[in-house]
Structure 1
């Protein structure tokens, strides 16, 4: 039997296309329970690598014969060794190239829809981390919203589409992942926008992102409009694109709402969060399609792999938007905050420009699940 590598891109297609996959995860049990590759039709067996050093005979009966088997570890080495042992026992098996490190960094670009004048809107889905970035394209120009740190993905995609990146936005100062926004702007000459209320400690130049700012993309003047929407951070800003799409940043998700505590100010910002969700957003058209900056669960993906839902449907179905009493809302939010994101304070320092860690250190900072939502 031959051991074949499976790339993060291959796994992403299995997730999006709802294909079956059996994952033999050989990381330690706590790492597996904290964060794993999620798929609609995936099954799992978690056996730490050190428990398999004497062989894989005991687990062979637990491995299916009717679906692909993928061995996964943190960085690849251990999974390759286990996969070789499974193969030598006569079973077809794959290993994940680059391990969970590669899964965490992979981005899948998916077209959300057409825009006025032949424009397009793309969502970049980071399945391993739950991050969502966006590119608005119109007549040779592009704007990027909430780019993650893998800048080549965005610049290469723009080249493929023969467009020039003119504007780069961050909806807020991120705390769970490292932004690539200002680096894309530096590389392309684009204007980089950041909410000024989130930027008091940044050490680089930026253009203030203020409520009501309208940026036109392309000769057709496709509009990207800014809507001040504090609560996750004091500067959080949403965008309305082409009067059709509401990019909510980390304020509103498909199945939850944003957490207000990542700068240590939950009690101060929870009121702003309610004001945004229950008043500012309620004034918007319910037919707007909500496009958040994160997702928490694989069930939030649509059949085409996008994460998007009509605002009116969220008003009806999202529990965080249906807590009538303000005091109950305050307790619901502050009493159900999940564990802080991995290295969130260091990530904030990176996004302020105060520290510049090496690439491997940035990877370690971001390892783990997304934790931007109230549970």
Structure 2
């Protein structure tokens, strides 16, 4: 039997549509334990490639018969070799094109809803990394929020929508991945916006996102209202779009809250985090649909693969919003901080424009799970 490539896009559709999938991951065990393809109907095992150099006969009993197998490695090469050996044993085998690097880079656009005046709101879901970014399109104009470094995806999507990118915004200075915001703004001739408290002494020009600032999109005048909401970073800013959606950045997620420690100031910023969540957000309409900048686990996604919940639901169900005692909140937040994101200080420096890395170095830096939340 022959082997067949499977693209990251095809894999994403299988994960979202909950198709049964068996994965043989041949990366080193520590890489697999740290980060792997996950999904409700995804079953996977890890057998490092070096254990299979002499053949796959010894592991065939661990691999189910009668269903396709997807072999995954870091870049692709090892998975092709293992897939060929499995095919020789009569198995139906696929390999992941581009490996886990391609999985990390894949972006899947999902329409969130229609806005007033024929506008549209899209969420770009990065399944392999947990990043969420957004595009608002209205009357030939587009705004992008929290873009990843895969800038061509946004530029092409805007082109297909017949929209000119007028504004690009980042809710905060990202420390877990590389922002594509400034690069998109330069390519499209748009304006790049950044919270000024996160952008002290940056070497590039930007427009300051300040509390109460309003940006319009298209003739339908879809307002994006900035709300200063520190806690994850000192400059974190949320946006209310069309009086219907709350883009919460990395302050509030579907089933968790943002971490306050990526600048080494957890004890200082945990109070800001609580004030944003328990005071600023409490004053907002509970009918607002929360659209975060990340998701943590696949269970947070809706049937269509989007991450979105009404604010009122989160105040009932999200444990991070239900710790009434301030001392207990501080202790739980600072005492349950997850490991730091890989290369987080370098991410900050790249996004501040004070460090340069080539494209392949950037891809390598981003390999690994999302670690922006406190569960």
Q: How far apart are 1:201 and its partner, in Å?
A: 3.5
**CA deviations over 1:164-198 (Å, ceiling 9, x no partner):** 10010000000000000011000111110000000
Distance 2:150 2:181 in 1: 10
Structure 2 residue runs without a partner (length 5+): none
* 1:340 corresponds to: 340
Distance 2:154 2:93 in 1: 33
* 2:283 corresponds to: 283
**CA deviations over 1:215-272 (Å, ceiling 9, x no partner):** 1100111111111100000000000011110000000000100000001111110000
* 2:78 corresponds to: 78
* 1:304 corresponds to: 304
Are residues 1:128 and 2:141 paired? no
Contact 1:71 1:83 in 2 (8 A): yes
Distance 1:352 1:299 in 2: 33
Contact 1:246 1:288 in 2 (8 A): yes
* 2:350 corresponds to: 350
State the SS of the aligned residue for 2:374: coil
* 1:236 corresponds to: 236
* 1:87 corresponds to: 87
Q: How far apart are 1:291 and its partner, in Å?
A: 0.3
Are residues 1:194 and 2:194 paired? yes
State the SS of the aligned residue for 1:39: coil
Q: How far apart are 1:40 and its partner, in Å?
A: 1.2
After superposition, where does 1:161-172 map in structure 2 within 5 Å? 161-172=161-172
Distance 1:201 1:317 in 2: 40
Distance 2:270 2:67 in 1: 47
Distance 1:112 1:67 in 2: 34
Contact 1:109 1:124 in 2 (8 A): yes
* TM-score normalised by length of structure 2: 0.99
* 1:110 corresponds to: 110
State the SS of the aligned residue for 2:9: helix
Distance 1:357 1:143 in 2: 26
Distance 1:339 1:352 in 2: 22
State the SS of the aligned residue for 1:333: helix
Change (3 A) 1:314 1:66: farther
Contact 2:68 2:91 in 1 (8 A): no
After superposition, where does 1:355-370 map in structure 2 within 5 Å? 355-370=355-370
State the SS of the aligned residue for 1:58: helix
* 2:270 corresponds to: 270
Are residues 1:5 and 2:22 paired? no
**CA deviations over 1:55-82 (Å, ceiling 9, x no partner):** 1011112212343210000000100000
* TM-score normalised by length of structure 1: 0.99
Contact 1:234 1:269 in 2 (8 A): yes
Distance 1:115 1:154 in 2: 19
* 2:249 corresponds to: 249
Q: How far apart are 1:142 and its partner, in Å?
A: 0.6
What do you get for the CA RMSD once the two structures are aligned? 0.7
Contact 1:25 1:44 in 2 (8 A): yes
Q: How far apart are 1:277 and its partner, in Å?
A: 0.1
Q: How far apart are 1:355 and its partner, in Å?
A: 1.0
Report the number of matched residues.
Answer: 375
Distance 1:65 1:303 in 2: 29
List structure 1 segments (4+ residues) > 4 angstroms apart after TM superposition: none
Contact 1:20 1:68 in 2 (8 A): no
Q: How far apart are 1:328 and its partner, in Å?
A: 0.4
* 1:318 corresponds to: 318
Q: How far apart are 1:16 and its partner, in Å?
A: 1.1
Distance 1:242 1:360 in 2: 38
